[in-house]
Amino acid sequence: MPFEIIIGTQWGDEGKGRVVDLLSEEAVVVARYNGGDNAGHTVTVGGQTFKLHLLPSGMIHSQTIGVIGNGLVVNPAVLLKEIDMLRQNGLTVDPQRLGISHAAHLLTPAHQALDRAQEAARGGAQIGTTGRGIGPAYTDKVARRGLRMEDMLDVPRFRHKLTAHLEETNRWLTQMYSAEPLAVQAIVEEFSGYAEVLAPYIRDVGALIMEVLQKGGRVLAEGAQGTLLDLDHGTYPFVTSSTPTAPGALTGLGLGVLPVDRVVGVTKAFQTRVGSGPFPTEVFGEMAERLRGTGANPWDEFGTTTGRPRRVGWLDGVLLRYAMRLNGVSELAVTKLDILSGLPDIKICTAYRSENGVHETLPLGPADLSPFEAVYEELPGWQEDVRGARRWEDLPRLAQEYIRRIEAISGVPVRYISVGPERSQVIVR
Ligand code: IMP
């Protein structure tokens, strides 16, 4: 079955959007399976930059059907704005072209207010969340008191449930966090309006996907965030609250264990992170500014969702190997190779050192990386501009050697290399 999964191997922001854009040319369905509008996928087409938070990036191709899986938490205000944005750009978005899982959870202003209040209460131990309400929305899901998309189909009952949810949150906000209460009635009216508009899109998306797969149609599952932000397997507690790793595509779309054609892991040619948490190969000062950019370009290392400057560092081979195993990655896409052009030498972390010796793999996962120090290998940098390269042979020898080193460390082939933000600036091997 032509089912493919695209995941980030790092802390998100690997450039998955553009790899999805490339691979969705042949897809019938493009599906998001985790997260919410904490994600920010940037795709540049013909000088025009699309920033998508909730809709699958592959919807920029007009032949695709977009799916929002049950693994998501959906802020309907953001979703409707995005639907409008695509329409303004000449794309059709109607119930034939977009399906939203009946079992996806709703993200409300209550979740956003709680996210802000809880972060403020954490003081110095802040996670550095995107403030979009993601953690509290998944908390309600797990606590079995969340509102799901299917609740919107019965508006009187929905209004009742939503009112109870907002009133309960108000008690938390005022009594526990000394925060302002929410305007319950206004939110109920606003959401009743969303229910009317979104009802025709709500369906069993797992059944839709199976039907397409059985007819031989290609389905592309797009992970948001990255492996190291996975709730179970990431740098806990500095993680998001969903399952960005590849197995999440099955549970997050309502599918059984089915054959997966390939799992494409997207990795930046270096490493970035937003928010708090461990980062063994982080760099500071001039080198950090060099890798991050100034913020003048849309591809500089500033958060798509929050605008925060990203922390930057060298590629971490230990964490990359870990991501290969967790996702079952079959091939890699390396993005932003062009950013490394002109550096005298490039470091790559191949192992960690602790007082117990040298480790090529993590003894216990990445939650506590404090005992480790990165062991680097230094490779000579290339001085040529690679932005015009379209074939493997166009790359300077030293850039090819860097890619080959990534293949040796990860144990999988590098199939795609991006050398610039434009759709065409990619090498397919
Ligand atoms: P939350 O998902 O808003 O709860 O944030 C939890 C952590 O995940 C924070 O460190 C965020 O910066 C990070 N995070 C969430 N979404 C993304 C993303 O799409 N890219 C990069 N980091 C993210």
Q: Per DSSP, which regions of 146-287 are E strands?
A: 202-203, 219-222, 262-268, 271-273, 282-283
Q: How far apart are the first and last CA of the chain?
A: 23
In this prediction, residue 382 carries a pLDDT of 98
CA 332 to centroid of ligand 1, rounded, Å? 22
How confident is the model at residue 10, as a pLDDT? 98
pLDDT-derived band at 422 (thresholds 50, 70, 90) equals: confident
Choosing from 107, 130, 140, 231 the residue with most ligand 1 atoms within 8 A of its CB, the one to mutate for a pocket test is 130
CA 392/CA 389 separation, integer angstroms? 8
What pLDDT is recorded for position 229?
98
3-state class percentages of the chain: helix first, strand second, coil last, to nearest 5 = 35, 20, 40
Q: Would residue 41 show up in a list of annotated catalytic residues for this protein?
A: yes
pLDDT at 119: 95
Residue 309 to residues 37, 141, 299, 312: CA-CA distances in angstroms? Answer: 18, 31, 12, 9
**Which pLDDT does position 150 carry in this prediction?**
98
Phi–psi pair at 342, nearest 5 degrees: 95, -10
The pLDDT tens digits of the residues spanning 306-365 come to 888 999 999 999 999 999 999 999 999 999 999 999 999 999 999 999 999 999 999 999
* Percentage of the chain modeled with pLDDT above 90: 92
Which alpha helices (DSSP H) does 237-308 contain, by range?
247-251, 285-292
Instruction: Please list, residue by residue across 47-68, b when 16 or more beta carbons sit within 10 angstroms of its beta carbon and e when fewer do.
Output: eeebebbbbbbbbbbeebbbbb
Is the Cβ atom of 130 under 6 angstroms away from ligand 1?
yes
Instruction: pLDDT band for 238, please (50, 70, 90 cuts).
Output: very high
Which atom of ligand 1 is found nearest the CA of 135?
Answer: 4
Give me the count of residues in the chain.
429
Task: Note the pLDDT tens digit of each residue in 257-301.
Answer: 999 999 999 999 999 999 899 999 999 999 999 999 988 887 899
Average pLDDT over residues 223-251: 98
Query: 3-91+205-428 architecture in CATH?
Result: Alpha-Beta Complex (3.90)
Structure confidence at residue 299 (pLDDT): 84
The ligand 1 atom nearest the CA atom of 129? 5
* C-alpha distances in Å from residue 187, one per residue of 109, 133, 141, 145: 8, 15, 20, 18
pLDDT at 51: 87
Mean pLDDT throughout 403-410?
98
How high is the pLDDT of residue 210?
A: 97
Measured in angstroms, how far is the CA atom of residue 239 from the centroid of ligand 1? 7
Cα Rg for the chain, rounded, in angstroms?
22
The helix (H) or strand (E) run that includes residue 73 is strand 73-74
Task: Tell me what the mean pLDDT of segment 72-78 comes to.
Answer: 98
Lowest mean per-residue pLDDT among 38-52, 247-261, 360-374: 38-52
For atom 16 of ligand 1, the residue with the nearest CA is 38
Per-position DSSP letters for 107-131, written without gaps between them: --HHHHHHHHHHHHHHGGG-----S
* CATH architecture designation of domain 105-201: Orthogonal Bundle (1.10)
State the span(s) of the chain assigned CATH 3.90.170.10: 3-91+205-428
* CATH 1.10.300.10 location in the chain: 105-201
Tokens, residue 21: 């854009």
CB 12 within 8 A of CB 274: yes
Catalytic residue among 21, 37, 41, 102: 41
128 ligand 1 Cβ < 6 A: yes
**Burial class (CB within 10 angstroms; exposed 0-12, middle 13-18, buried 19+) of 286:** exposed
Record the tokens describing residue 88, joined without a space.
Answer: 């303004």
| pLDDT at residue 92 is higher than 90 | yes
Residue range 80-98: mean pLDDT, rounded: 96
CA 182 / ligand 1 centre spacing (Å): 25
- From the CA of 229, give the closest atom in ligand 1: 8
Amino acid found at 243:
T
The pTM for the full model equals: 0.96
Given a contact cutoff of 8 angstroms between Cβ atoms, the answer to whether 265 and 7 are in contact is yes
Whole-number Å distance, alpha carbon 129 to ligand 1 midpoint, is 6
Residue 421 confidence class, pLDDT cut points 50, 70, 90: confident
Q: What is the pLDDT of residues 33-45, one digit of tens each?
A: 999 999 988 887 7
